């Protein structure tokens, strides 16, 4: 039997069927030498197919590595692979967002007492001013109020302009969104490419599985997915999923249904 290098599964199955029939005949005829020969041929078919598919898988892996420059050694060192570049980029996003959050909170912490001070002072002065309107203020108190109003106006001008300056800085601190957005888009593109390549590799690997007759047990992977203790992080499609709450109201309803 002639076996081409490029046998297909249709061929493999045909070869298996033909040989099975021949093997059966040979055994019934008592021709064990012929039977062993057929088994040998079957093995040969299987092995050649297997080598062929493993070869394809290896080439696929090699291409994937070349495409994404995962192999650092062949990459002149300095630049690093696309994957480690993506990791660096994401770390940059984490650093940028953290910096912006801290900058914003620093400014808010500076602003809060300023605004609070203005509120307190204005409330007190309004009380005094009411007395003045009701003509309940003596000359000494009036002189005091006169000075306090002057001081308050000066303070209000200074503090309000600081507040306005800080608000502008808070605005500027949001510029990370543009930069991190660009970085994340590039990484998303890379992830899509890698996924595409992995799917191709998986298809190739499944051909190898067919030749070797391997069956993978996926149950432990599913099992791991099920365990909720580890946490999943934010839900991106909360509104489309039945098993996820869509907000605090949902949480409250669920807890009260449990007797909370």
Q: Which residues bind other proteins (CB under 8 A)?
A: 98, 101-102, 105, 108-109, 228-235, 238, 243-245, 247-248, 251, 254-255, 258, 260
Cβ distance to other proteins smaller for residue 21 or 108: 108
Neighbour tally for 216: CB within 10 Å: 9
Residue 226 CB, nearest distance to other proteins (Å)? 9
Closest separation in Å from C-beta 241 to other proteins = 8
Gyration radius (Cα) of the chain, Å: 38
CB nearer other proteins, residue 44 or residue 251: 251
Half-sphere exposure in the Cβ direction for 49 (13 Å, CA) = 24
Alpha helices per DSSP H over 134-175: 139-172
Minimum CB distance to other proteins smaller for 105 or for 153: 105
Cβ atoms 173, 107 nearer than 8 A = yes
- Nearer CB in complex with other proteins: 30/234: 234
Q: How far is the CB of 141 from other proteins (least distance, A)?
A: 34
- Rounded to an integer, what distance in angstroms lies between the CA atom of residue 159 and that of residue 58? 69
Smallest distance from other proteins to CB 228, Å: 5
CA gap 223, 200 in Å, rounded? 25
Residues 6+ apart with CB under 8 A from 71: 65, 81
Beta carbon nearer to other proteins, 6 or 109:
109
Coil, helix or strand for 77?
coil
Give the integer Cα–Cα distance in Å for 126 and 134. 12
Contact criterion met (CB below 8 Å) for 19 and 38:
yes
Q: Are 41 and 21 in contact (CB under 8 A)?
A: no
Q: Could you tell me the smallest distance in angstroms from the CB atom of residue 231 to other proteins?
A: 3
Closest to other proteins by CB, 219 or 248: 248
Report, in Å, the least distance between residue 190 CB and other proteins. Answer: 25
């Amino acid at each position: 039997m002639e076996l081409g290098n490029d046998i297909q599964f249709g061929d493999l199955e045909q070869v298996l069927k033909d040989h099975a029939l021949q093997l059966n005949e040979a055994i019934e005829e008592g021709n064990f030498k012929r039977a062993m020969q057929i088994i040998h041929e079957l093995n040969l078919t299987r092995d050649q197919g297997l080598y062929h598919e493993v070869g394809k898988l290896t080439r696929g892996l090699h291409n994937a590595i070349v495409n994404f420059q995962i192999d650092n050694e062949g990459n002149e060192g300095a630049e690093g692979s696309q994957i480690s570049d993506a990791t660096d980029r994401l770390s940059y996003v984490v650093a940028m967002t953290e910096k912006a959050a801290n900058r914003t909170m620093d400014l808010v912490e500076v602003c809060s007492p300023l605004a609070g001070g203005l509120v307190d002072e204005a409330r007190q002065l309004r009380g005094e001013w009411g007395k003045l309107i009701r003509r309940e203020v003596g000359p000494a108190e009036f002189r005091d109020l006169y000075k306090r109003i002057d001081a308050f106006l000066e303070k209000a001008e200074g503090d309000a302009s600081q507040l306005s300056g800080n608000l502008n800085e808070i605005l500027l601190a949001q510029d990370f969104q543009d930069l991190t957005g660009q970085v994340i888009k590039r990484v998303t593109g890379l992830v899509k490419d890698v996924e595409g390549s992995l799917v191709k590799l998986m298809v190739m690997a499944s051909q190898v599985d067919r030749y070797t007759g391997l069956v993978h047990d996926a149950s432990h992977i599913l099992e791991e997915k099920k365990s909720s203790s580890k946490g999943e992080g934010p839900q991106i499609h909360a509104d489309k999923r039945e098993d996820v709450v869509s907000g605090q109201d949902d949480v409250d309803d669920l807890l009260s249904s449990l007797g909370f």
